[in-house]
Structure 1
Amino acid sequence: MDFKPCVNINKELDIVGARQLGRTRAKELGFGTVDQARIATAISELARNIYLYAGKGKVCFEVIDQLDKQGLKVVASDEGPGIRDISQVMQDGYSTSGGLGAGLPGVKRLMDHFEIHSEWGKGTEIQAIKWVR
């Protein structure tokens, strides 16, 4: 299954599109409803961050097929301002937008694997994987 569609995030409505596509892919892969909701929530958070902080970017989906397991990889990337202090944004309760601050730490908790790469002035890429149980 070589499949890597992306949803461009340019306007607020694109957040919904990314969330729906991610949930559909998760369902097709055999994730249960609880994990589908976790994945959709993580995608919403990632797409919202792109919209709020970078203005535009994309969320891509990739099916990972390993010998003993299958998963869904979500890659959120932008060419926005980047994150100056990753350790700070990974603290629960930290928010620059007046939100709950559940953002990236929440995504990390919802998914099985989480990586963040950001360069100030160049943008951010976040990869998150959820494995089918």
Structure 2
Amino acid sequence: MEFQSCVKIVTEWDIVAARQLGRNVSKELGFGTVDQARITTAISELARNIYLYAGKGEICIEKLHRVGKRGLIVIASDKGPGISDIRKVMEDGYSTSGGLGAGLPGVKRLMDEFDIESTVGEGTEIKAIKWLR
């Protein structure tokens, strides 16, 4: 991992800044417009979750280089209340905010790899990777 850039998520405007960073990095890496949109949508969802449920946190974006593969990883982390039932929040249609419930399952579908770790009372870290095709 060569480059890392983070956006602190404290206000709604930070969600916009995180999206913009994701779009810029994905464009630099050579992702097409469809994948750029997928990445920025995933970032938007992750940043919004931090803002809504944890109050503050950060979104970090790193370029990835693995043997024969290039891509980017989005790391969303917070020190919020944590998620008590990860299986539940990964169900389509489940929402605690009255939204569409596309949230985390949607992020998982938009990206190629998805990992979530959460401890109640300590916070949550989500890693989502998109590989360049």
Q: CA deviation at 1:66?
A: 1.1
Inter-partner Cα distance in structure 1 for 2:2 and 2:73: 12
Inter-partner Cα distance in structure 2 for 1:66 and 1:55: 34
With the length of structure 1 as denominator, give the TM-score of the two structures: 0.99
1:58-100 CA deviation, whole Å, 9 max, x = no partner? 0001111012010100000000000010000000000000000
Paired positions, count: 133
After superposing on structure 2, the runs of 4+ consecutive aligned residues of structure 1 that deviate more than 2 Å are none
1:74-113 → structure 2 map (5 Å cutoff): 74-113=74-113
Question: Quick one: which amino acid aligns to residue 88 of structure 1?
Answer: K
Q: Determine the structure 2 residue equivalent to 1:64.
A: 64
1:14-53 → structure 2 map (5 Å cutoff): 14-53=14-53
CA RMSD of aligned residues (A): 0.7
* Gapped regions of structure 2 (runs ≥ 5): none
Aligned residues with identical type, % of pairs? 72
Q: CA deviation at 1:44?
A: 0.1
With the length of structure 2 as denominator, give the TM-score of the two structures: 0.99
Question: Quick one: which amino acid aligns to residue 80 of structure 1?
Answer: G
* Gapped regions of structure 1 (runs ≥ 5): none
Does 2:118 correspond to 1:118? yes
